[in-house]
Structure 1
Amino acid sequence: MKKAIIICCLWITGAFCSFAQSSRVDSLVQIVKLHPNDTIGSNALLGLVSEFLRVDFDKAKLYAFQAISLTDSLHHLNGLSASYLYLVALYQNSGRQDSARHYLGQLQMLAEANSSNWKLTANYNQSAGLYYKNQGDVKKALPYLLENLKFAKLNSEGTAGLYLNIGNAYFNLSDYRNAMHYHLEGLVTFEKVNSLRGQSFCLQSLGNDLFHLGQFELSKKYYQQAMKLKEQLNDKRGLITTWSGAGDVYKELMQYGLSEKYYLQAIAASREMKLPGEEMRARFQIGLLYKRMKKFDLARQNIDRSLVLAKQMGDSTGSAKARSELVGIALVEQSQKDDENTLVASLKTVTEAGDRNGEMVEYGRLSEYYALNGQYKKAFEYVKKYDQLKDEIEGVEVLLELRELEGQYQTEKKEREIELLKKDQELQALALDRERANVTIIAVVLASVVLTGFLLVNRYRVVARAKRTIEMERMRNAIARDLHDDIGSTLSSINIMSQLALKENNGHAGQYFQSIHEHSSKIMESMSDIVWSINPNNDSLEQVLVKMKEFAAEILEPKGIAFSFQGIDEVKNIELASEKRKNVFLIFKEAINNAAKYSNASEIVIQVAGQNGNIIFSISDNGNGFDPEKVKPGNGLKNMEVRAKSLLGALSRTSAVGSGTQISFEFPVT
């Protein structure tokens, strides 16, 4: 049951990390789409290269070429340099050495042409160091990496990566003291910046250091930690090297079944990801395993394949080791005794490359060769060289120093954990004090809130009552003003005209009665408008638009003028106070009346729109139009402007002879 729970937890963790990576890739792709022509997009492309570098080489190359095209067009030199750096690594790891050298040359020319830009120099040094290290020429690689220390920034991920690469270079020179020093520096820095991927690389490298010093159990611990992190990160390429390392450890612990399992996993994954360099190393190591198990056919078959891949990669050290090992297999089988030249050439190659561990192996193989051929003096000389170099590399002094380094790291790590624990305890104590203080404050605040709430509610009632009184007073004044202005003056006119009609004896009484009829109709219309404006059922702009349509139909249809409303659905749910509704309608009414009387138009378009909290009305006709400079505005237009100002808005008029007229007014909703 417990095992099932652990497996389930690991599966969930892996699924979560895969989701996180997928989510990051999706985010970067979206950024590229939104920024196809700027540095934000180019940086996102480089991020995609980094994401696929350890998962899918083909996709990584595709994004790298896109990044080169964009950074070159933008003259973004740092981005272009990073693109070249990625392509060197991609082509070298996939066995295409000519292409890798080409882009390394491009990187060098870019750095030399812009010598004042330290980032370009740092990128070239990093790329050259890793290129020559992977070529097996570690002596040539190390100076490039060490030079980059002067560009290093404290506690940064880039500096941690530099420590890791320098440590790996010293490891290939069999200088395990310096290798472990830089690997531990890298691990501590990666922990400080919380980079799990970087930590997994350093744990792997520390496992390698300890393995070559014969500390197999301690080495296994670091490999297992590295494997756990890489599985969590879904780092397929990283797992290949960890599986190979685990195979080495279990081989030395004589657990050959587990060793073979991990080697075969590494070979299968290398072939799947098209990584000839990783396959070469795994093939060579499993060949050594089969040799130890006395399965010589399988040993020769895998080391032969390792030799082919080393030649393909241009790895002279790998080729020399494979040839030497084939001779070693033949020596064990005692099937041939004439390969002295091959062994001497292999010794020369690994010595020139600075591979001291490989040099030690070749001394042992030559001593074995000469012993089998009866040349005991030479055999004894190479045994002494083997023992002397082994003592230098794996001596007690070195082991003690490396044990001290590893112990110091563990001690510092525990001290950091204790310090964090103390800080957590202090924070918890502070949180408890704050919680007690908060309880007191909350009690006081709660009492204050209750009292304040009571006062506010009481004040709100008073203010609301006052507001209602003021609003009622305003409405009464507005109704009185409208009755006086619109209806009172009209009733006075009717009274005068009726008296004239009664006294008139010359046959013109009919004209007075007609005027009375017109004025009374106007009164009825005004009364209707007043009643409509104060009716709360008409508060929405939709009701205003309905009344506008009715009025437009009443005025324009008898004259044969077509009309249409546009944009109603956009604003129909907006509510307006009665005063605003009345002014909006009266402005519209005046505009329609003017168009009907003077424009000779055949069509009128009324547009309504909402924009930035404002409402915009536009009444356009296709009539005669007029020259605004020659026609002075009458009372109707002045009234419209006054009403627009009372709405806290503005009114504009546009017209030209033969081009129709447009009246627009805009006002805020609130």
Structure 2
Amino acid sequence: MGRILLFCCFCGLGLSLGGKAFSQAPAQSDSLQISSLLQKADQFMISGDLIQAHSFADEALAFARQKGLNYDHAAALLKKGEIFLEEDQLDQAETLSKEAYSLGQDMSNPELMARAELLHAQALMYGGQVKESLPVFEQAIERYFKSHPSEEAALAYNDYGYALGLNGAPEKQINNLILSKEILEQVNPENFAELGVTLNNISIAYYSLRDMPKAIAYALQSIAYREKAGDKAKMALGYCNISQFYRGIDQQKVEVYLGLCARLAEEAGDEDRMSQAYITSALLYSDQGDREKALEFEQKAMVILQKKGQDPAMISRRFLSMAMHAVALEKDSLTVMNYFNQSMAYNQRNLNKANFRDLYQQLAFYYRSQGKYRQAYDYINLHTLYRDSIIQENTLSNIAELEKKFETEKKDNEILRLLNQDQLNELEIEKQKALLSQNLLEVGKKEQAITLLTQNQELNQLKIQQQNEELQKQALIATTKEQQLALVEKESEIRDRQLQESRLYRNLSFLAFGILVLIGYFLFTRYKLQRKLKEQESLLAIRGDIAKDLHDEIGSILTSIKILSEVSAKKMAVTQEPIRPYLHQITAQSVEAQQGMSDIVWAVNPENDKIGDLVVRMREYLVKTLEPKEIEIQLLVEEQVVQKKLKMNQRRDFLMMFKEVINNIAKHSEAKKVSIQLLAKGQDLLFSTKDDGKGFDLAANRSSSGLKNLYSRAKALGGSCTISSEIGYGTEVQILLPPA
């Protein structure tokens, strides 16, 4: 029943057809029976039982064919077409309209031909071919309805007005809707339902022109008629419309009328009105800045609209509105583009230019906000093309109407000119007669009449000339618009070519970038491999150093232990000499070996990479080595040094050098006091010891390699070792190591 609600009720149509059949066909029982069947079909169509409506229409159609009643045959075809129209089977409706038109043409019956044309125009309009429907509506009205006021004529003007509104001509829409209202008031002022629909359509047309006072006034009149008709569903429609009219004017009235709309729609179980209430609620919340609520009500409305699926243009607009809300709420791009794509898909079904215009504009705004200026530029151009196309169509339509009016007025003026010429000739004759009869007063009157007619002719000619100039001006404007559109299309082609070139350059850039990435990856992989090889080489070197240390230090100790053990065994076998000194030496060297192994393991452990860990190790060794000799220890470590780190080889070599220095002090210095410092010197690490022992001669030859090891280890680490000593004045050692 969607079309009955939106455009005009068909409830009187069947009765009208039946009634006409009764009045125009022979007064026979067959025609009366067909009329009765068509009335029943009409009643079932209004109630929504289209199956029963088809059944009675088919019965009437078969009976009319059997009896050869052409007028009733055509009436039954038109009723079938109306039912197909309600079912959205527009092709069948159009086919039946052509068949009915052919019958009317054979009978030379303008009424049947006009009704068939009306059905054809409605099928075109509902199928989205609005522009194509307009001349068919005009033909039907000119052929019959203009001179034969009836409820069906009111329907013709109403639907023609609606089609004009869809085509972007609201002023013409209002004129035709007012004609529809006046005809209804003339032929059937008690048809409250039809009057309510027509007044509601007028109200919507004024709303599209933003004439809110008239829109509200007509909407209230519509509700009053619908209340008389007891139609709650359509009263809900009127209240929904008024709530929308008051948006931005009076929010309190918006809420009041919206509440009435929702209540009546629920009472009537009318999903169309419920969806409109949801849409108006969404608009209300949008005005208040509550986008979340607005989107929620749009989604509720969309459930109903998609379920019915009768108005793809409306669904497209609602998806566009949802996309705009999602953009404002900063939803993810997947959600936003889903709404835009749905809007595009539904609008492809009826190719509504106004919807395309608005959709492309919002897409341009969205891509601009995302920084995607190429897509934004393309869409704003599409928006401009559709906007200019709509303006161009309206301009051409206005020019055609002007030409039609101009030709009509030109013919009327030509007739008037000829009549005036005849009057002038008659007046000249009468003037001559008056002169002959010496009636000067009559001559003066005739002279004035001649002058007046001459002036009228000149005024008419001037008017025609002005209309011709206006027509030429409009044609020139249209030509300019066409040239501008052609220029825009040319610019679009150039942009497309530039875009293709840009894409080519972009693809080449991507290719070059890909090659650079591959080269970079190859170089990075090679670097990682070289670094890994270096790390392996370093690890092998460390392992070699550890093996060397084990061999040099631990190996010599173990060899010494072995020799002492063999000597002790021989002594015990040969003589009874005491072997206790040998056993003490073995014990001492075993402890020394254990300590050496512990130092190597400690140095290798990565958890001991901080100098703070090294200081703990140094303290332990100092206490164990110098305190038994009763040597006073002074240890100074700067705080900034504690958190610094040393590499594994640095830790190992530093600990070896430290132990070498401390062992020399314990064994040879005879010192009473030693000062040890660990300081930061710039980025370097400075280790120094100073004792008050007996000192030694640096120039003297020594069999021990201890000092040489100090120099070599420091040098191997990239540092330096300085030793200063004088007999009787102690010894000072300074070791400077670079950072890790």
Tell me if both proteins adopt one fold, taking TM over 0.5 as the criterion. Answer: no
TM-score by length of 1: 0.45
- Bigger Rg over Cα: 2
TM-score by length of 2: 0.41
The higher relative CO (CA closer than 8 Å, separation ≥ 6) is in 1
